[in-house]
Amino acid sequence: MEKAKWTLPQVVFLALLAFLFGAVFMGAGVLYALLEAALTPFGFSPFANEILFGLWVMAAPVAGMLIPKMGSAVLGEVFAALAEMLYGSYFGASVLISGFIQGMGTEVGFMATGYRRYDTLPLFYGAIGTTVFSFIYEFFKYGYATYGFWMVVALFVVRFASVCFFGIFLTKQIVTLFHKAQGLSVSH
């Protein structure tokens, strides 16, 4: 299967994306700490994670769209999580587990279309997959069962909105800019 073979430029590009998104994830960690501190006096600190969640999962849809290969979304998210960890994330090695789960959620979106579509539809399916997979994982990790039903629903809805914004809308903007930049010729 030719489509399954990776070329050296694709591997290098994936590594570059991971390096860049690892830095974005580090920045998101700072934003998270600030937002959590701002929301804590009002009793809404759990929403800090949900509001910014889509930012932490962007490597998967961007990698999946720019490197249309089976597994690129998972690898993109896991390697970006690895970069974040190596940059010194205070979330530590747990980001690797999260990265795998988030990447698998996005990968499901491309898988659902048989890896034949690279547009809004697989991004939307991926947003659903990422939200569901990650929410189930974090439901247990962060003890969401201690919250009331409507609080859990609100956290889920905010996470899904965040994943849609960053994983669909912003990802499409990045992909469009990337493709436009490829079309530009550089004159010397």
**pLDDT tens readout for residues 14-30:** 999 999 999 999 988 88
> What gap in Å lies between CA 60 and CA 92, rounded to an integer?
19
Among 131, 17, 126, 129, CA closest to 82: 17
Give the CA distances from residue 44 to residues 40, 41, 151, 166, in Å, rounded to whole numbers and listed in that order: 6, 8, 10, 21
- Size of the chain, expressed as the number of residues it contains: 188
Single-letter code of the amino acid located at 31: L
- Radius of gyration (Cα) for the chain, nearest Å? 17
Instruction: Indicate left, alpha or beta for 70 from its phi (over 0: left) and psi (-120 to 50: alpha).
Output: beta
**7, pLDDT greater than 70:** yes
Report how far residue 180's alpha carbon sits from residue 178's, in angstroms, rounded to the nearest whole number: 5
**Tens digit of pLDDT for each residue in 56-105?**
999 999 999 999 999 999 999 999 999 999 999 888 899 999 999 999 99
Residues with Cβ < 8 Å from 60, sequence gap 6 or more? Answer: 73, 74, 76, 77, 102, 103, 105, 106, 107, 126, 130, 167
Phi, psi (degrees; rounded to nearest 5) at 97: -65, -45
Q: Are 99 and 37 in contact (CB under 8 A)?
A: no
Which pLDDT band, with edges at 50, 70 and 90, does 185 fall under?
Answer: very low
In this prediction, residue 1 carries a pLDDT of 37
pTM of the predicted structure, to 2 decimals: 0.91
The pLDDT of residue 4 is 72
Q: How confident is the model at residue 183 (pLDDT cuts 50, 70, 90)?
A: confident
Q: How many CB atoms lie within 10 A of CB 68?
A: 15
